[in-house]
Structure formats: C-alpha cells, structure tokens
Amino acid sequence: MKKVSISDIARKAGVSVSTVSFVMNDKAVKMRISREVITKVENVAREMGYRPNQLARGLRTGKTKTIGLIVENISNAFFACLAKTIEDEAKKYDYKVVYCSTDNDEAKARDLINMLSQRQVDGYIITPTLLLADEIRKLQAENKPVVLIDRYFPEHAEIPSVLVDNYGGVAKGMEYLFSKGYRKIALVTIEAEMAHMHDRLQAYYDILNKHGVTPDDRLIKWVPYGYVHEAALEEVMDFLSTRRKEFDAVFFLTNYLGVLGIETIKKFNIKVPEEMAVLCFDDNDIFRLYTPTISVIKQPIEEIGQKAMLALIERLRHTGTELPPDNTNLKLAAELVPRESI
Amino acid sequence: MKKVSISDIARKAGVSVSTVSFVMNDKAVKMRISREVITKVENVAREMGYRPNQLARGLRTGKTKTIGLIVENISNAFFACLAKTIEDEAKKYDYKVVYCSTDNDEAKARDLINMLSQRQVDGYIITPTLLLADEIRKLQAENKPVVLIDRYFPEHAEIPSVLVDNYGGVAKGMEYLFSKGYRKIALVTIEAEMAHMHDRLQAYYDILNKHGVTPDDRLIKWVPYGYVHEAALEEVMDFLSTRRKEFDAVFFLTNYLGVLGIETIKKFNIKVPEEMAVLCFDDNDIFRLYTPTISVIKQPIEEIGQKAMLALIERLRHTGTELPPDNTNLKLAAELVPRESI
DNA sequence: TCCCTCGGCTAAAACGATTTAGTCATATCT
DNA sequence: AGATATGACTAAATCGTTTTAGCCGAGGGA
C-alpha cells in the first residue's frame, strides 16, 4: 500500500491537482471552486486516507513549521521539563519541535545546528555552549530566528535570550543564609566559563562583601566540567569531608552538584542543618523528598519555556520584513523555596 | 544571505548539477568524474558553505534518515533516559530521532503518528496507548517499520516489541519479599488496562498463591489513571495510612507510584522497613538517595533502547524486500537491587 | 573504414506539493 | 454588438535533490 498523493486524488476525483491543493488548503472559496467539487474532493481525500507530504510542502513553501530545540542533555530533569513545556507551547502555535542534546560538546553542538539547518527548521531555541556564538550568528544571517535559553552571551546582546536571573537568584539565597545567621558559607560550583555561572559566582562574592565577610577561596570548590558521575562525586565528597569544620553552610550552584552533595551528606551522615546548612540553585524532586528537605532557589521553568517560545514566534512572524529591533534579553526572577535544610 | 543550493555550486564551478550531486554523494568515482573536477567542486562547495537540503533529498529518495520516537512523557525520568539512549544509538546508524509525548492520550497519540507520517519518518519506536494497535498496523501496511517499547499488544505478536520482563520482574520482587519473611504484602498499582501492567499484577497473584497466601483485594490499591499529582498522592496517602496495620510490606508497581509512596511515608513518618517494607518496580534517583534507600526492581533501560533500535534498523534495511518473518518480541530480564527498605 | 567501448560529463525526469497566470464559457454593461 | 466581468477551473513553473539515459570524442579491434 503506497502513500496517496495529491495527484492520486485529482485523478480519482476527476479534477486537477491545483483544485485539490486549493481544497486541502482551505483556499477553495477564494479560488471560487464550486461547493460540489469541494465536497467531492474532500470525500475522495478522506476515503483514500490522504496525508500531505510535509517534505514536498516544505520544499515548495520554504516553511517546515518545525523548530529545533537544542539542550545540554535531555535526560536531565531540568531540560526534560523545559523541553516538555516548549513542546506543549509550540503546539499552540502549530509548530512541531525536534530536540537534541549537545552534552556540552562544542563539536556536537555545531553538528546539531548543521543537521537542523539541513532539515530546514524555521527557528531555533538553543542552550548554547561556550563557543557557539559565531555559529548562531550565521543562522541569524540566514534569516533563521534564534532564542537562547538558560545561558547567554553578554557580548552578543543582539541574540535574544530568556533565562532566570542568575545573579538575583543567588543573591536572594545568600541574603537568606545571612538572615539566618550563617556567615561561613562554602560554595560548590562547576568549572564552566559561561556567563550564567559567572553571574551566580559574582552574586556570591558581592553578597559576602556586602555583609563584610571576606571571601575565602578555600571555601570554594570547583568541580571540573565533563567529569563522569563517579569522579565528580569523589570531588564533592573530598571537599565536604575535609573542609567540613571550616564552614557552617554550603551553597550548591547547580541542581546536579546538589544531588552529589546529598549523596555525600548521606554517606558521611552529616547533620543538616545543625552541622551544615544546605541550599541549592535549581529544584529537583529529590530535594523535596530528602530528609531533611533541602531549601532551593527555584527557576521558573515553565515561564522560561513560554517566554522563549513567544519570543521565537514573534520573530518567526517577522521574517522577511526588516527585523524588529526589540532585543529581547529576559531575566526572570528566581524563587526562594525555604525547606528544612536551613 | 540565502542558502546555497547545488545549482549555485554548479554555476560557480562551471559544471552541471548532476556532477555536483555525484561529487557530494561520493559517487564521483563510480561516475568517472575526473580528479580535478572533483576537487574543484569540493572546494567551491566548501567555500560557499553548502549544506544539502534534506527536504529535497528526502522527497527524491523517499528516505529521511529520521525515526520517530513516541513516548508517554518525555519529562518522566524513565522515558527521558530511554530517549537519550535511543538518540545516541540512532546516531551510530546515522539516523536522527524526533520525539514526542502522548501523555497517554489516545487522540494525541494518533495525531502524533499522523504528524510523523506526514514528515515522512522512515520508522517508528512507540510506547503505545491502549487502542493504538490499528493505527500501527496501518503504518506497517505502508511499509514503515515499527517497534514497540515498554508496552505491547499480546494479541498482535506481529508488531515487534522490546520490553522488560514485567512478570518475571515482579515475581523476582515477590520471591525476595517472601524470602525475607513478609507474607502480608500490599500492592499499589495503576488502573491501566495495558498488558504490561496486567503481567505485573498477575505475577503478584501467582507468587502469593505459590506460597499459599490467599490474595486479599483490600490490600490492593488501584490508583486511577490520569489523576493530577495531588489527587493521586491523596489516594496513596489515604490507602497507606488507613490500612497501615493490615500489611507488613508494600510493593509499588511503578516508579511514579513509588515516589508518591515516599511522599506518604515521609509525611506519616512511617518506619521503613520496621513498620513496613517497601519495594518498587523501576528505579529512580530518589530511591537511591532516600533514607532509608529503597529496594527496587530495575529495568534495563539502556538495553531496551539498544535492542529496540537494533530491531528497527534491521527492518529498515529489509524494507522493499519481502518482510523478514522473525517476529521480535523481546522480554529483557529485570534486576533486583536490594537496598535498605526491605 | 566502420563499429565498439570507454572515459567524462550533462539533460531531463521525477519526487509531491504550492501558486501564478492563464483558459473558456457565460453574464453584464454600454 | 463589442467590451468587460465573473465564475469555475487548469497548466505549468517551481522548490533542491537524485538518478537514468544519453552525448561526444578518442582509442582499439576487425
């Protein structure tokens, strides 16, 4: 059983392919096709189980009604959730999304953009890697709209972005720690050079200074990027166990690091919050269910997805016309969710 | 800046489009294109930044090198992880995957198949919904290979499937409970009518009977499908708290139910395993990190992904030729991971 | 000398849609 | 009567590839 095409229908209904096309695209009235021909064609199409070939359509129109979503890792809870909102949101605008993971690998990211470009997606939502800016500029030059999520390029404000207010979020967390009387605050972060992590770190320094505490680099643990789980866990365990006595609170700068922290705390049976208060950037089911429950700075995932989609759709509508100059660089407020760990 | 096409290259290099096409597809030697023309075309293509248009290619060849993956919900850890393995696995065979979530909604599942079919994917990996069999048969009739994962249709053995041995997994769990001396075993399951859940339930009954325990329906909690999180949680809480004294172990038949169970156990401060031993089908980060750690029956997610992909690729290679009669209906062994909860 | 083969390339059809520019009656206006 | 409008459609170009069939000249064999 072969697929049925528009000309199969035309033959069976005894009309031309153009007529069928008009009917299938609701342009029949505009093209003054008679009522009877319309219903005839509709019936034949239904009987034969016609499904328009989107490749042919896309080739002709230059629009695929598809957007490409590139995230770091789709199996990570944060990105999986983000992907789901974006998928749902896209459907509202009648777009389909195809997603893929970079694993934070520059070459892979380039390949993915390449692949999506070959598949003629209409626009992109991208969690960029460090060196991806020029590749993204190329897309823009080809008139393909791009919106960044989660990360951004401060030196490229012309690339729209939607992300949490990283600085504000960490600042909020730090203030909370100070308000509870903690002053010796350790930090566990990742050796990523992207601006969003830099912003988080800066907030840590700034709020310490604001409260007259001199930052102590020995209280900062840098976990190298790209470690396998076990190696990263090792690093965190080592840090928390050896420096344990030197601080009274620890702030994990990412979801993933927080999970490693929990594994460590569990293993060394550290009393939270008595021995060590714990705060983490970005929520996770585990933090809600662990004993004690872990306080977090929560990202507005759904809002990020919605706003990013909205920004993209706007640009999608404006392609062809001169680009709208409203550079969207949104930073959405993070929420402090106080639980038992602090 | 417009996209460059094969004919742009042809013009610039002073050759025909056919020649360019042959060069780009490594058919140049077979087509006896001279060394110098080959390098010339290659250079021009590189300079102009040529990227083949996959829509056109797909339209012409009938192959898109894309497979459609339909899961229940991509933001669920199990499916997110499965999706990632399948994506990685597909790349090995030079296929791209586009995935989407049914949310276990029949109409949505149909729509998704429809959409993927319109986009001319070469094959499908599907987590089916209850009534999807006929729609899937249609795909097969169109000569599009399909492999089911996670769920299957016992009455349609001609649709290949790859899944965990649900019966065997639950049986293994039950035997473990008995071996530890538990005999009053409660069950929390979901009101889903699909065979995989039926298999799990059957194993529960069979192993109880095998050990001479008469199943007591009051010890089985059916959580209605499609509940929002809060309502489902309410159900589980109600069951566990009111019947608490009537059993000494509880077996959650899905990952998600297990998480609800943990929330309940935490809220009512139930002592595990003293008051109640806990076992869950399907692992989750939370089970590994909760205190006490929760014993699970673990699905071989990666193996499922790999075997499913393999089965699909085999069929993809054989389309056109008469279909190979080797009906794949794989059931992969589940692993018991004993932890502290039992 | 004529026929073949072969090396090196090209023309053109095809894939399945969309869309512009018609065609051909019939009806209306002047 | 002739020009114009309108209603109901259709022909054909087009999108960017792949692929089959063939062109043309040179060299080899009979």
- DSSP string covering A139-198, please? HHHTT--EEEES---TT-TTS-EEEE-HHHHHHHHHHHHHHTT---EEEEEE---SHHHH
CB A8 within 8 A of CB A48: yes
Looking at beta carbons, which residues of chain A come within 8 Å of B98?
96, 98-99
Q: How far is the CA of B261 from the C1' of C25 (A)?
A: 77
Strand pairing of A295-298 and A335-337? antiparallel
For B202-214, the pLDDT digits (tens) are: 999 999 999 999 9
Query: A46 to each of A21, B135, B142, B201, B212, how far by Cα in Å?
Result: 14, 15, 17, 41, 57
Strand C bases contacted by the protein (CB, 7 Å): 7-12, 14-21
Nearest chain A alpha carbon to B82: A75
- Three-state DSSP string of B186-249: EEEEECCCCHHHHHHHHHHHHHHHHCCCCCCHHHEEEECCCCCHHHHHHHHHHHHHHHHHHCCE
Q: How far is the CA of A48 from the C1' of C25 (A)?
A: 32
pLDDT of residue A323: 55
Looking at CA atoms only, how far is residue A83 from chain B in angstroms? 8
Which regions of chain A does DSSP assign to beta strands (E)?
Answer: 66-71, 96-101, 123-126, 146-149, 161-164, 185-190, 220-223, 249-252, 277-281, 295-298, 329-332, 335-337
Strand partners, B71: B101
For B10-60, the pLDDT digits (tens) are: 999 999 999 999 999 999 999 999 999 999 999 999 999 999 999 999 999
Least trusted range by pLDDT, from A175-189, A316-330, B272-286, B288-302:
A316-330
Q: Which nucleotide is nearest to B50 (CA to C1')?
A: D16
CB B233 within 8 A of CB B261: no
B146: enclosing H helix or E strand: strand B146-149
pLDDT of residue B227: 84
Q: How far is the CA of B8 from the C1' of D26 (A)?
A: 32
CB A142 within 8 A of CB A119: no
Q: At what angle do helices A35-48 and A6-13 cross, to 10 degrees?
A: 120
Q: Is residue A337 classed as helix, strand or coil in its secondary structure?
A: strand
Report which of residues B244 and A332 the model is more confident about: A332
Looking at CA atoms only, how far is residue A221 from chain B in angstroms? 22
Determine whether the distance from the CB of A3 to the nearest atom of strand C is below 7 Å: yes
Query: B279 to each of A233, B155, B237, B276, how far by Cα in Å?
Result: 26, 30, 17, 10
Q: Which nucleotide is nearest to B62 (CA to C1')?
A: C15
- Give me the mean pLDDT over the A105-123 stretch: 96
CB A97 within 8 A of CB A67: yes
Q: Which nucleotide is nearest to A60 (CA to C1')?
A: D15
Question: What is the percentage of chain B residues whose pLDDT exceeds 90?
Answer: 91
Over 90: is that where the pLDDT of B174 sits?
A: yes
Strand partners, B279: B251, B295
Quote the CA–CA distance of A341 and A287 in Å, as a whole number: 9
Report which of residues A319 and A227 the model is more confident about: A227
Computed over every residue of chain B, the mean pLDDT equals 94
Could A1 and B55 be called an inter-chain contact, meaning their C-beta atoms sit closer than 8 Å? no
- Give me the mean pLDDT over the A27-36 stretch: 93
pLDDT of residue B320: 54
**A277 confidence band (pLDDT: 50, 70, 90):** very high
- Give me the mean pLDDT over the B334-338 stretch: 98
pLDDT of residue B87: 94
Q: How far is CA A263 from the centre of its chain?
A: 26
CB-based contacts with strand D under 7 Å?
A 14-19, 22, 31-34, 36-37, 56, 59-60; B 3, 5-7, 17-18, 21-22, 24-25, 27, 50-53, 56-57, 59-61
pLDDT of residue B322: 56
Determine whether the distance from the CB of A57 to the nearest atom of strand C is below 7 Å: yes
Residue partners of A289: CB distance under 8 A and separation at least 6: B259, B262, B263, B266, B286, B290
Quote the CA–CA distance of B301 and B316 in Å, as a whole number: 22
Quote the CA–CA distance of B98 and B121 in Å, as a whole number: 9
Question: What is the percentage of chain A residues whose pLDDT exceeds 90?
Answer: 91
| Cα distance from N-terminal residue to C-terminal residue, chain B | 65
pLDDT of residue A225: 84
**A76 confidence band (pLDDT: 50, 70, 90):** confident
Q: What is the pTM of this model?
A: 0.92
Determine whether the distance from the CB of A320 to the nearest atom of strand C is below 7 Å: no
CB A126 within 8 A of CB A72: no
Q: What is the residue whose two structure tokens read 């999304």?
A: A97
Q: How far is the CA of B280 from the C1' of C20 (A)?
A: 64
Quote the CA–CA distance of A42 and A12 in Å, as a whole number: 12
Quote the CA–CA distance of A256 and B63 in Å, as a whole number: 39
Q: Which nucleotide is nearest to B22 (CA to C1')?
A: D18
pLDDT of residue B157: 94
Over 80: is that where the pLDDT of A321 sits?
A: no
pLDDT of residue B321: 56
pLDDT of residue B325: 53
Quote the CA–CA distance of B132 and B194 in Å, as a whole number: 11
Q: Which nucleotide is nearest to A13 (CA to C1')?
A: D9
Over 80: is that where the pLDDT of A327 sits?
A: no
Q: How far is the CA of A65 from the C1' of C19 (A)?
A: 19
CB B205 within 8 A of CB B253: no
Q: How far is the CA of A55 from the C1' of C22 (A)?
A: 28
For A229-244, the pLDDT digits (tens) are: 899 999 999 999 999 8
Q: Which protein residue lies nearest to nucleotide D15, measured between its Cα and the C1' atom?
A: A60
Quote the CA–CA distance of A62 and B270 in Å, as a whole number: 60
Assigned token pair, B168: 């065997």
- How many Cβ atoms are within 10 Å of A317's Cβ, its own excluded? 12
Quote the CA–CA distance of A265 and A241 in Å, as a whole number: 9
Quote the CA–CA distance of A92 and A209 in Å, as a whole number: 46
- How many Cβ atoms are within 10 Å of A210's Cβ, its own excluded? 12
CB B273 within 8 A of CB B256: no
B260: enclosing H helix or E strand: helix B255-267
**A195 confidence band (pLDDT: 50, 70, 90):** very high
Could A53 and B59 be called an inter-chain contact, meaning their C-beta atoms sit closer than 8 Å? yes
Who among A51, A75, A142 is closest to B3 (CB)?
A142
Reported for B8-17, long-range contacts at CB under 8 A and 24+ positions apart, including other chains, are: B8/B48, B8/B50, B9/B41, B9/B44, B9/B45, B9/B48, B9/B50, B12/B44, B12/B48, B13/B37, B13/B40, B13/B41, B13/B44, B15/B40, B15/B41
- How many Cβ atoms are within 10 Å of A105's Cβ, its own excluded? 14
* Burial class, B300, CB count within 10 angstroms (exposed 0-12 / middle 13-18 / buried 19+): middle
Over 80: is that where the pLDDT of B1 sits?
A: no
CB B249 within 8 A of CB B177: yes
Q: Is residue B55 classed as helix, strand or coil in its secondary structure?
A: helix
Who among B114, B143, B262 is closest to A289 (CB)?
B262
pLDDT of residue B20: 97
Computed over every residue of chain A, the mean pLDDT equals 94
For B109-132, the pLDDT digits (tens) are: 999 999 999 999 999 999 999 999
Q: What is the residue whose two structure tokens read 């294109």?
A: B33
pLDDT of residue A318: 81
CB A309 within 8 A of CB A260: no
Q: What is the residue whose two structure tokens read 């790999």?
A: B306
B98: enclosing H helix or E strand: strand B96-101
Determine whether the distance from the CB of A54 to the nearest atom of strand C is below 7 Å: no
pLDDT of residue A274: 95
pLDDT of residue B102: 95
Determine whether the distance from the CB of B30 to the nearest atom of strand C is below 7 Å: no
Could B115 and A96 be called an inter-chain contact, meaning their C-beta atoms sit closer than 8 Å? yes
